[in-house]
């Protein structure tokens, strides 16, 4: 189980109510389940978002297959207006 922090940008930050928070999860899929639990607006934003792990894009890889290392930073990037 990895520990790290998740950073929210734009609409994700607004929906989460915080700019960042700590997490403990083994995969990106597990992290997404944790952060969206009881947060329906964040779940809606996350479903449209892309993700960076320590600055590297996750792309289209299945989130349950993306293993998180200890101390990573996961960034949630919702679609931005204008591209």
* CATH assignment at residue 60: 3.10.20.30
Res 81 pLDDT > 90? no
Q: Structure pTM?
A: 0.92
Look at the chain and report how many structural domains it folds into: 1
pLDDT at 76: 97
| pLDDT tens, residue by residue, 20-46 | 999 999 999 999 999 999 999 999 999
Give the span between the Cα atoms of 22 and 73, in whole angstroms: 9
Asked if the structure places residue 35 within a domain, the reply is yes
Domain range for residue 27?
A: 2-77
| 3-state DSSP helix/strand/coil % of the chain, to nearest 5 | 30, 30, 35
């Amino acid at each position: 189980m990895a520990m790290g922090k998740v950073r929210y940008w734009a609409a994700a930050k607004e929906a989460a109510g915080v700019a960042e928070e700590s997490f403990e999860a083994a995969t990106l899929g597990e992290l997404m389940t944790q952060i969206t639990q009881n947060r329906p607006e964040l779940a809606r934003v996350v479903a449209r978002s892309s993700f960076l792990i320590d600055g590297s894009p996750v792309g289209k890889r299945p989130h349950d297959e993306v293993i998180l290392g200890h101390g990573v930073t996961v960034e949630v990037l919702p679609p931005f207006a204008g591209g």
